């Protein structure tokens, strides 16, 4: 602090130091993300960037996070807090922890958190954390996520709050447990190495900042970052009208049965606080679309951040005005041993409930309903050398329109984020698969409206293996995305399998196992988003452009928008 | 004989000529003419001829850097472009990668493609990933596509087929057919621009290339005509984004390679300065009015960015392109950047800038927001009277006034507010410099820092100290360094091939044969007859089996496999802090960098006569140094009269026509025999 004694303090901290240290922390989490993506072994991480990195205070409050997956970033605090509590008084410099426990701060068994305490002298000053989706952690099926699991014990190795390293080195016994319990040990250990490198980078960076600015300054900046987020967040909530806002939704089946699962929320806004109360939502389901409280909290926080400050760096402070209420044992607050493998296909509905309840309250922050489901398809089997391959791919889909713009085409679902699709050329070189088609899903359509929804897509594979299977669990397979202000509903997600021998086509959405033979075709078809406003109010030129671009046909123009094409190729409207 | 460079910037067009015999340098500066940049270029040549006595007929090397390509893209003023692609994939260009970097924005969308859906045509054809034909090209269908393009008045067609990076036959046949049917339309196949996999990135590259190609062809034709009329009759070169130059004809084939023409000139200049210093490893740092740009030079070569994206931001995925572009980290923090307080009294600098109009508050052209330049004036670093050769007087009171509100809100003095703004701007720049050095495994203590741009030399000494670099160097002509750098660039081509194989005993043999093919292509490209005329750098993208991202590893073709593997493990550890000795290793990409032997600009020794600190002295000024929180009486020196090879202690201000260099207390500096200013810690 001695360098800046002359400038007076703001929040007990001079502005220059505050801004410089904040900037360093943000640069540091970016660097963590680069290291993670570039060194990971698993295609889910490096190609679709299914991971996130962050730095928390000694109390487990998030200070800085990388861009990544929305769903993970809401869990950093609870994962760190769970480890800190388990090992209270028993954490030494050089310790490394690993955890994947959905009932103890985590999400599901495949999402592996690596946590490294950062010491200043003999005191913990911060934690570095990175959460990444491991391709396989053992369990009933390759990829570890049986869509019809009926308990968490089928979902692979549980590493609940485990110390995996001391003195900066991995403990060989622990590594062996992992190696012996997963199907692709090289990949798992490779990812573990990448996560270690990532957290080591964070540790070095925080230490360097501590050496330069001192403990007091760094801790003050932590506090400053968090209270500053809190202030901004409360200001937004204060500006919203007090009241109660409701939404209901259904989850289309749990993986075991197709029955609709009703869920609901009551949002209460009072002064500078917001309560999201999920009382009345269905009890935990038999199948794996349940989530634990941490995943619920993360799902709600995602939409809350979209409301209060979508483009500002995230930290714990933003969420202090938010309170989440849920009775124990619901589909959003499941307990061990409920299965949670496909939790994100359930928890996303908690996000959507909050979103739907608030959409009309702050139009410049929300859009109509989106295709919702990550629409992940697993294709596993033997390649021509008899080696196991596991291809997991989320699919992008249509987003809802907003008050002043059409919805986005083919964008990744809310639960992910800076998540890429898989290059076809790369994929064909790596797996016994051939992509036959990758295009916008114009047949399925998008929700009509003054502003229409965005289009989903069709991805069609030909499978080049005689010994393969697929499994998947897609939400919104029956209930389409919602429109706003008379905007129409969007369309649903599903998978089609076309049998090469007899041409039979089967339509699937949640299926634990489907045999695939050589040359069978598998199509993932994602839905279009909901519309916003009355379709009859859509500008004629926008309808014409959609016809020109082959997004809608002239019949749809008449039926949905009341815009007709006359014989001279000019357009008429019956408005 | 003379070497001549013209660099078209946003506001000014700079000209530098260097007489190889006399060592004389001529400089001209004219206003940029945005509609047709060649007019401004010719204006600068006329100015150099009339005012500086330039003899056009003596020019033996002409190089040009401009913004025609980037402007056409940024302003969406390219030609009407169509895309012909493999059946089933016309939406690849629009779907892009589908990522949402703007994580919490529920209204975000992917940037619009440069070819709308109704101009994207599909054709039956297909290769597998090894280049075997699965579906032959349906040439009949091309007739209908050509007809549609004619009817829709398409000016350029991009052709992108899946796996054409392995087997380009279908693309090339498609070019033949379409060119015959549409003789007036520019037809470009992806394989002429990129032989790398990833269909979206290659599509986007090809489309953008086609989009600007007719424009650049016309532009170079105009410029060539005008130059010939002025009696400049040598080969004309264009500055490319890879740090080298290409002839106008070569550049017209791949106009997208000109996208970062200007900044890449600065990097080429830094390489040349490095050679002068005997330093192969450098950080290069250029601060202009609105941004700061940072690059790393390693082993005398600029690093290329393997994932260059146009219009990228933290919130937008941008438009990735697969062309060799020097790795430049750019941040929105420059001399004109505006300092501001957020609602919670957090102090930030940039990215909005006062630009040239209205400019910083001290310009008195209507700007009232405090900028970095205003802060420098308040702190005494800038001289209000000698700015821009005294052509402009800066208003200190206006600068102070601009900080009043901020200082009041923070409850600090105006001086402290100005010092805070400079420190924050510097911190942003330090983060960017760390991103390209420390974070990629290079220790700044092993590097020298070369700083240019109007605002760079004012900030350099302090940034150099923070990074602990070996020394901080202010090159000659820091204010027009990009143009000067172009004189130092060599003809260069980068040839890359996606080549996928697991490391095996035959790997080296196979690599030799791939490189042999690439060398033949390079020799053809330069029409130089033999590879003896080329400087060749062999690089291979290598990774552990299972990884996606690879590490670019420089190799020698006479290495054995073990040496190659060791080099890779070491490169991986440098970049990512770990290696896995027993893991299997694979190759994904092969990269040949070829430069044609040419003489580059020499740097004339400065005359030792008439130089001394007394002669250079321009008096003293009070300067505020935030490090020790006070005002120091500081020497002001004229760079043109500094004695050679004599060390002197800071603090000092060294002024020249286009910039001012600040040396801090505790530092020492000297002028080298070739006129470079070298600052180091005492």
Asked if A190's CB is within 8 angstroms of B546's CB, the reply is yes
Q: What residues of chain A, 281 to 310, have a C-beta less than 8 Å from chain B?
A: 302-303, 305-306, 309-310
Place of tokens 């989850």: A251
Which candidate, B638, B641, B634, B647, places its Cα nearest to that of B678? B647
Asked if B549's CB is within 8 angstroms of A38's CB, the reply is yes
The SS3 of residue A132 is strand
List chain B residues with CB under 8 Å of A353. Answer: none
Query: Which of A10, A187, A432 to substitute to test the interface with B, most B CBs within 10 Å?
Result: A10
**Residue B545 sits in the same domain as residue B657:** no
B179 near B299, Cβ under 8 Å?
no
Strands A494-498 and A433-440: unpaired
What is the count of structural domains for chain A?
Answer: 2
**B278 found inside a domain:** no
CA atoms of B179 and B626, how far apart (whole Å): 65
3-state per-residue secondary structure call for A145-206: CCCCCCCHHHCCCCCCCEEEEECCEECHHHHHHHHHHCCCHHHHHHHHHHHHHHHHHHHHHH
Buried b (16+ CB within 10 A) or exposed e, B245-272: bbbbebbbbbbbbbbbbbbbbbbbbbbb
CA atoms of B266 and B268, how far apart (whole Å): 5
Q: pLDDT digit string (tens) for B34-77?
A: 888 999 999 999 999 999 999 999 999 999 998 899 999 999 99
Please name the member of B90, B100, B163 whose beta carbon is closest to the beta carbon of A411: B100
CA nearest to B129 within chain A? A429
List chain A residues with CB under 8 Å of B88. Answer: 435-439, 460
CA–CA min distance A85, chain B (Å): 30
The two structure tokens encoding residue B540:
């291979």
Ordered DSSP codes for A391-438: EEE---B----BTTBPPPSSB--TT-BS-PPPPHHHHHHHSSEEEEEE
Domain boundary pick from B596, B626, B644: B596
**A295 found inside a domain:** no
Query: Which of A19, A301, A444 to substitute to test the interface with B, most B CBs within 10 Å?
Result: A19
| DSSP label at residue A500 | T
Q: A400: which residues sit within 8 A by CB, 6+ positions away?
A: A367, A368, A369, A370, A407, A447, A453, A454, A481, A482, A483, A484, A487, A490, A529, A530, A531, A532
Asked if A46's CB is within 8 angstroms of B91's CB, the reply is no
**B638 found inside a domain:** yes
Looking at the DSSP assignment, which residues form a beta bridge with residue B535?
Answer: B595
Query: Which of A14, A26, A27, A39 to substitute to test the interface with B, most B CBs within 10 Å?
Result: A39
The two structure tokens encoding residue B17:
């000529």
Which candidate, A462, A517, A522, places its Cα nearest to that of A495? A522
The SS3 of residue A388 is strand
Q: B384: which residues sit within 8 A by CB, 6+ positions away?
A: B362, B377, B393, B394, B395, B396
Separate counts of helices (H) and strands (E) for chain A: 11, 22
Domain boundary pick from A195, A211, A231: A231
Phi and psi of B509, rounded to 5°? -60, -45
List chain A residues with CB under 8 Å of B431. Answer: 23-24, 27
Domain boundary pick from A204, A231, A258: A231
Omega within 30 of 0 (cis) for the link into A337: yes
Asked if B109's CB is within 8 angstroms of A414's CB, the reply is no
CA–CA min distance B573, chain A (Å): 10
The two structure tokens encoding residue B276:
């002068």
**Residue A222 sits in the same domain as residue A371:** no
What is the count of structural domains for chain B?
Answer: 3
Q: Residue A51's domain spans which residues?
A: 2-231
Query: Which of B104, B370, B444 to substitute to test the interface with A, most A CBs within 10 Å?
Result: B104
A548 in contact with B at a CB cutoff of 8 Å?
yes
**Residue B660 sits in the same domain as residue B558:** no
Mean pLDDT across chain A, nearest whole number? 92
Please name the member of A15, A235, A423 whose beta carbon is closest to the beta carbon of B420: A15
**Residue B590 sits in the same domain as residue B611:** no
**B313 found inside a domain:** no
| DSSP label at residue B117 | G
Q: Domain with B584 in it: what CATH number?
A: 3.30.1490
List chain A residues with CB under 8 Å of B416. Answer: 6-7
Domain boundary pick from B548, B567, B596: B596
CA atoms of A352 and A196, how far apart (whole Å): 34
**A348 found inside a domain:** no
Q: How many CB atoms lie within 10 A of CB B396?
A: 15
Asked if A409's CB is within 8 angstroms of B95's CB, the reply is yes
10-residue stretch averages of pLDDT, chain B, 682 residues long: 90 90 88 89 95 93 92 93 98 96 92 97 97 97 97 97 97 98 97 95 98 96 96 96 96 95 94 94 91 92 89 90 92 90 86 83 92 95 80 90 94 93 92 82 91 93 94 94 94 93 91 96 93 94 83 92 93 81 89 90 87 94 85 93 95 92 96 96 93
CA atoms of B337 and B333, how far apart (whole Å): 6
Q: Residue B658's domain spans which residues?
A: 605-682
CA atoms of A97 and A161, how far apart (whole Å): 7
In chain A, which stretches have pLDDT less than 50?
A: 1-11, 568, 570-575
Asked if B110's CB is within 8 angstroms of A190's CB, the reply is no
3-state per-residue secondary structure call for A7-74: CCCECCECHHHHHHHHHHHHHHHHHHHHHHHHHCCCHHHHCCCCEEEEEEECCCCEEEECCCEHHHHC
Domain boundary pick from A200, A231, A262: A231
B583 in contact with A at a CB cutoff of 8 Å?
yes
Strands B448-452 and B282-287: parallel
**A440 found inside a domain:** yes
The Cα angle at residue A301 between residues A296 and A307, in degrees rounded to 5: 140
**B158 found inside a domain:** yes
CA–CA min distance A366, chain B (Å): 6
CA atoms of A479 and A555, how far apart (whole Å): 25
**Residue B589 sits in the same domain as residue B609:** no
The SS3 of residue B100 is coil
**CB burial of residue B52 (10 Å; 0-12, 13-18, 19+):** middle
**B620 found inside a domain:** yes
What pLDDT sits at residue B631?
92
- Run of H or E residues at B567: helix B561-576
**A335 found inside a domain:** no
B107 in contact with A at a CB cutoff of 8 Å?
yes
**Residue B582 sits in the same domain as residue B653:** no
CA nearest to B196 within chain A? A425
CA nearest to B627 within chain A? A3
Q: Give the CA-trace dihedral at B472, B478, B479, B482, to 10 degrees.
A: -110
B431 in contact with A at a CB cutoff of 8 Å?
yes
CA nearest to B166 within chain A? A425
The two structure tokens encoding residue A15:
């502005």
Which candidate, B131, B208, B194, places its Cα nearest to that of B162? B131
Q: Domain with B127 in it: what CATH number?
A: 3.40.50
**A311 found inside a domain:** no
**CB burial of residue A298 (10 Å; 0-12, 13-18, 19+):** buried
Mean pLDDT across chain B, nearest whole number? 92
| DSSP label at residue B289 | S
B163 near B127, Cβ under 8 Å?
yes
Asked if B92's CB is within 8 angstroms of A438's CB, the reply is yes
CA atoms of B151 and A181, how far apart (whole Å): 63
Q: What residues of chain B, 523 to 582, have a C-beta less than 8 Å from chain A?
A: 544-549, 575-578, 580
Q: What is the pTM of this model?
A: 0.91
For residue A282, the Cα-to-chain-centroid distance in whole angstroms is: 22
Q: A447: which residues sit within 8 A by CB, 6+ positions away?
A: A368, A400, A401, A407, A453, A480, A481, A483, A487, A488, A489, A490, A491, A528, A529, A530, A531
Asked if A417's CB is within 8 angstroms of B101's CB, the reply is yes
Q: B57: which residues sit within 8 A by CB, 6+ positions away?
A: B231, B232, B233
- Run of H or E residues at B585: strand B585-596
CA atoms of B564 and A162, how far apart (whole Å): 39
Buried b (16+ CB within 10 A) or exposed e, A389-411: bbbbbbbbbbbbbbbeebbbbbb
Which candidate, A141, A173, A177, places its Cα nearest to that of A158? A177
**Residue B177 sits in the same domain as residue B84:** yes
Strands A377-382 and A468-473: antiparallel
**Residue B505 sits in the same domain as residue B559:** yes
N-terminal to C-terminal alpha carbon distance within chain B = 43
CA atoms of A60 and A97, how far apart (whole Å): 14
Looking at the DSSP assignment, which residues form a beta bridge with residue A435?
Answer: A461
B219 near B36, Cβ under 8 Å?
yes
**B85 found inside a domain:** yes
CA–CA min distance B423, chain A (Å): 7
**B131 found inside a domain:** yes
List chain B residues with CB under 8 Å of A551. Answer: 117
Please count the residue pairs, one from chain A and one from chain B, whose beta carbons lie less than 8 angstroms apart: 232
Q: What residues of chain A, 379 to 408, have a C-beta less than 8 Å from chain B?
A: 396, 399, 402, 405, 408
**CB burial of residue B339 (10 Å; 0-12, 13-18, 19+):** buried
CA atoms of A6 and A491, how far apart (whole Å): 62
A265 near A355, Cβ under 8 Å?
no
Domain boundary pick from B182, B212, B242: B212
Please name the member of A3, A18, A34 whose beta carbon is closest to the beta carbon of B346: A18
Asked if A35's CB is within 8 angstroms of B423's CB, the reply is no
What pLDDT sits at residue B441?
76
CA atoms of B195 and B178, how far apart (whole Å): 21
**Residue B503 sits in the same domain as residue B614:** no
A274 near A358, Cβ under 8 Å?
no
**Residue B498 sits in the same domain as residue B560:** yes
What pLDDT sits at residue B420?
93
Phi and psi of B81, rounded to 5°? -120, 140
**B348 found inside a domain:** no
The two structure tokens encoding residue A350:
């908690």
ipTM: 0.92
Looking at the DSSP assignment, which residues form a beta bridge with residue B632?
Answer: B623
């Amino acid at each position: 602090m001695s360098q800046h004694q002359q400038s007076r303090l703001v929040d007990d901290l001079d502005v220059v130091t505050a801004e410089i240290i904040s900037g360093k922390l943000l640069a540091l989490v970016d660097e963590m993300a680069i290291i993670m993506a570039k060194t990971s072994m698993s295609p889910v991480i490096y190609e679709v960037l299914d991971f996130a990195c962050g730095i928390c205070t000694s109390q487990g409050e998030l200070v800085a996070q990388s861009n990544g997956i929305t769903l993970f970033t809401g869990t950093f605090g609870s994962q760190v807090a769970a480890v800190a509590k388990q090992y209270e008084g028993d954490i030494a410099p050089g310790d490394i922890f690993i955890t994947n426990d959905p009932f103890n701060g985590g999400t599901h068994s495949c999402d592996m958190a690596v946590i490294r305490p950062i010491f200043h002298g003999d005191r913990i000053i911060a934690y570095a954390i990175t959460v990444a989706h491991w391709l396989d952690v053992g369990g009933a099926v390759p990829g570890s996520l049986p869509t019809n699991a009926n308990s968490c014990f089928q979902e692979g190795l549980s590493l609940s709050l485990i110390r995996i390293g001391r003195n900066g080195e991995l403990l060989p016994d622990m590594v062996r447990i992992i190696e012996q319990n997963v199907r692709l040990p090289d990949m798992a250990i490779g990812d573990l190495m990448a996560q270690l490198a990532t957290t080591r980078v964070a540790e070095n960076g925080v230490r360097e900042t501590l050496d330069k600015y001192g403990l007091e300054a760094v801790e003050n900046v932590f506090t400053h970052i968090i209270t500053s987020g809190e202030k901004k967040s409360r200001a937004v909530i204060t500006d919203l009208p007090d009241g109660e806002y409701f939404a209901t939704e259904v989850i289309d089946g749990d993986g075991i049965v197709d029955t609709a699962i009703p869920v609901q929320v009551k949002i209460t806004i009072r002064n500078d606080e917001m309560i999201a109360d999920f009382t009345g939502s269905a009890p935990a389901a038999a199948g794996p679309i349940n989530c634990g409280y941490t995943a619920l909290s993360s799902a709600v926080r995602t939409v809350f951040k979209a409301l209060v400050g979508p483009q500002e760096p995230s930290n714990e402070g933003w969420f202090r005005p938010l309170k989440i209420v849920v009775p124990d044992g619901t589909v959003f607050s499941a307990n061990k041993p409920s299965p949670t493998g496909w939790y994100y296909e359930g928890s996303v509905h908690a996000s959507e409930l909050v979103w739907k309840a608030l959409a009309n309250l702050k139009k410049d922050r929300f859009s109509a309903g989106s295709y919702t489901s990550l629409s992940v398809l697993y294709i596993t089997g033997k390649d021509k050398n008899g080696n196991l391959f596991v291809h997991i791919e989320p699919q992008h889909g249509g987003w809802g329109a907003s008050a002043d713009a059409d919805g986005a085409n083919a964008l990744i679902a809310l639960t992910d984020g800076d998540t890429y699709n898989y290059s076809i050329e790369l994929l064909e070189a790596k797996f016994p698969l051939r992509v036959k088609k990758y295009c916008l899903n114009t047949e399925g359509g998008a929700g009509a409206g003054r502003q229409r929804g965005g289009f989903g897509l069709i991805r069609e594979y030909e499978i080049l293996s005689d010994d393969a299977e697929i499994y998947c669990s897609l939400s919104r397979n029956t209930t389409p995305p919602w429109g706003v202000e008379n905007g129409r509903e969007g369309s649903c997600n599903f998978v089609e399998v076309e049998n090469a021998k007899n041409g039979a086509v089967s339509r699937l959405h949640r299926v634990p196992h489907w045999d695939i033979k050589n040359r069978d075709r598998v199509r993932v078809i994602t839905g279009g988003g909901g519309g916003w406003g009355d379709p009859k109010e859509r500008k004629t030129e926008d309808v014409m452009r959609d016809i020109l671009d082959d997004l809608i046909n002239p019949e749809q123009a008449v039926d949905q928008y009341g815009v007709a094409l006359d014989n001279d190729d000019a357009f008429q409207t019956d408005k | 004989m003379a070497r001549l460079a013209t660099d078209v910037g946003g506001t000014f067009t700079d000209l530098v000529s260097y007489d190889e015999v006399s060592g004389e340098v001529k400089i001209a500066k004219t206003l940029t003419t945005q509609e047709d940049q060649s007019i401004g270029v010719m204006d600068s040549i006329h100015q150099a001829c009339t005012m500086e006595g330039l003899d056009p007929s003596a020019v033996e090397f002409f190089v040009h850097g401009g913004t025609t390509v980037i402007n056409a893209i940024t302003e969406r003023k390219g030609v009407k472009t169509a895309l012909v692609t493999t059946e089933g994939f016309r939406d690849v260009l629009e779907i892009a990668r589908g990522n949402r970097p703007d994580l919490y924005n529920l209204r975000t969308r992917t940037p619009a493609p440069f070819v709308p859906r109704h101009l994207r045509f599909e054709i039956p054809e297909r290769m597998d990933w090894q280049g075997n034909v699965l579906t032959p090209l349906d040439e009949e269908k091309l007739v209908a596509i050509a007809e549609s393009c004619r009817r829709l008045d398409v000016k350029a067609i991009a052709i992108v087929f899946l796996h054409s990076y392995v087997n380009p036959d279908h693309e090339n046949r498609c070019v033949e057919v379409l060119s015959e049917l549409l003789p007036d339309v520019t037809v470009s196949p992806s394989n002429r621009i990129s032989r790398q996999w990833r269909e979206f990135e290659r599509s986007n590259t090809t489309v953008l290339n086609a989009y600007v190609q007719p424009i650049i062809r016309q532009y170079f034709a105009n410029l060539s005509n005008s130059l010939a009329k002025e009696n400049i009759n040598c080969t004309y070169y264009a500055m490319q984004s890879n740090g080298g130059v290409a002839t106008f004809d070569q550049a017209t084939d791949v106009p997208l390679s000109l996208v970062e023409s200007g900044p890449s000139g600065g990097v080429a200049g830094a390489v040349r300065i490095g050679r002068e210093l005997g330093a192969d490893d450098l950080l290069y740092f250029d601060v202009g009015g609105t941004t700061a740009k940072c690059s790393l030079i390693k082993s005398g070569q600029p690093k290329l960015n393997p994932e260059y994206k146009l219009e990228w931001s933290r919130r937008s995925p941008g438009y990735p392109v697969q062309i060799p572009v020097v790795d430049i980290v750019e941040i929105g923090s420059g001399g004109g950047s505006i300092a501001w307080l957020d609602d919670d009294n957090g102090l930030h600098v940039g990215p909005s800038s006062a630009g040239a109009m209205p400019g910083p508050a001290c310009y008195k052209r209507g700007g009232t927001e405090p900028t970095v330049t205003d802060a420098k004036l308040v702190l005494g670093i800038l001289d209000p009277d000698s700015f821009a050769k005294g052509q402009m007087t800066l208003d200190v009171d206006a600068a102070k006034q601009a900080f009043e509100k901020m200082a009041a809100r923070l409850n600090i003095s105006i001086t402290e507010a100005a010092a805070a703004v400079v420190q924050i701007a510097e911190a942003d720049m330090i983060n960017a410099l760390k991103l390209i050095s420390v974070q990629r495994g290079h220790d700044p203590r092993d590097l020298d820092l070369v700083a240019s741009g109007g605002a760079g030399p004012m900030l350099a000494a302090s940034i150099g100290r923070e990074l602990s670099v070996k020394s901080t160097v202010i090159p000659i002509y820091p204010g027009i360094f990009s143009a000067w750098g172009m004189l130092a660039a060599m003809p260069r081509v980068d040839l890359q091939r996606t080549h996928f194989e697991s490391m095996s005993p035959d790997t080296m043999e196979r690599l030799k044969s791939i490189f042999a093919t690439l060398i033949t292509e390079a020799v053809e490209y330069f029409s130089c007859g033999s590879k003896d005329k080329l400087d060749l750098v062999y690089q291979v993208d290598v990774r552990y089996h299972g990884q996606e991202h690879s590490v670019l590893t420089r190799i020698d073709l006479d290495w054995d496999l073990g040496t190659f593997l060791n080099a890779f493990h070491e490169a991986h550890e440098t970049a990512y802090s770990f290696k896995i000795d027993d893991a299997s290793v694979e190759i994904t990409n092969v990269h040949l960098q070829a430069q044609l032997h040419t003489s580059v600009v020499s740097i004339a020794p400065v005359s030792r006569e008439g130089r001394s600190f007394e002669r250079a002295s321009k008096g003293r000024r009070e300067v505020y140094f935030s490090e020790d929180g006070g005002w120091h009486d500081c020497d002001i020196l004229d760079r043109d009269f500094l004695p050679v090879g004599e060390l002197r202690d800071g603090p000092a201000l060294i002024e020249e026509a286009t910039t001012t260099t600040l040396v801090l207390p505790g530092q020492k500096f000297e002028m080298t025999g070739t006129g470079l200013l070298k600052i180091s810690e005492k």
